[in-house]
Amino acid sequence: MDDPAMGMVCGFLDGTIISVEGGYRVLQHPKPARVFDRIADARWFLAVSFCDACPAPAGILNHEGKLSFQNEAALTVGETAFLPLELRKAVFDTCLTLSPGESTTSTIHPSQPLVQVWGLEIDPRYGRIAIIRTLTPAIQN
């Protein structure tokens, strides 16, 4: 690190955040010069990008049981088909038991596909969020 303004480098989901003079830069951002004022904004960008890159339905569930973000695949199947309202509290409660960076897989309901759940701290002002990604079963030969 030859740049004296660069003080911190951290990985988050599938990305890298670097502190620079005036804020935080995400290496995977399509505009390399983009600087976020707060690290929470950089983390949010990476969480949305992570979900958006999933080919299967994926989204971000907040503590109020609302999907703060859904990718195109989740929008295609529909918000409640992706994650029914009555199952959201159980899914969110699952994320509360996970350590940072840890995920779990489960079938949240027999009629629902297998999902992977992460519990993440994006912004301390709002608490933990859950990233939910539908896992497609492996093709059997």
- How distant, in Å, are the alpha carbons of 18, 20, 47, 54 from that of 134? 30, 35, 15, 9
Q: pLDDT higher for 141 or 28? A: 28
Angle (nearest 5°) at CA 100 between 95 and 103: 50
User: Which residues make up the CATH 3.30.450.20 domain(s) of the chain?
Assistant: 54-134
- The answer on pLDDT for 108 being more than 80 is no
Which tens digits make up the pLDDT trace of 38-78?
989 999 999 999 999 999 999 999 999 999 999 999 999 99
Residue 27 confidence class, pLDDT cut points 50, 70, 90: confident
Measured in Å, how far apart are the chain's first and last C-alpha atoms? 49
What pLDDT sits at residue 7? 73
Decide: pTM greater than 0.85.
no
| Backbone φ, ψ for residue 124 (5° rounding) | -60, -20
Average pLDDT taken over every residue of the chain: 84
Residues 6+ apart with CB under 8 A from 37: 22, 23, 24
Specify the CATH architecture of the domain 54-134.
2-Layer Sandwich (3.30)
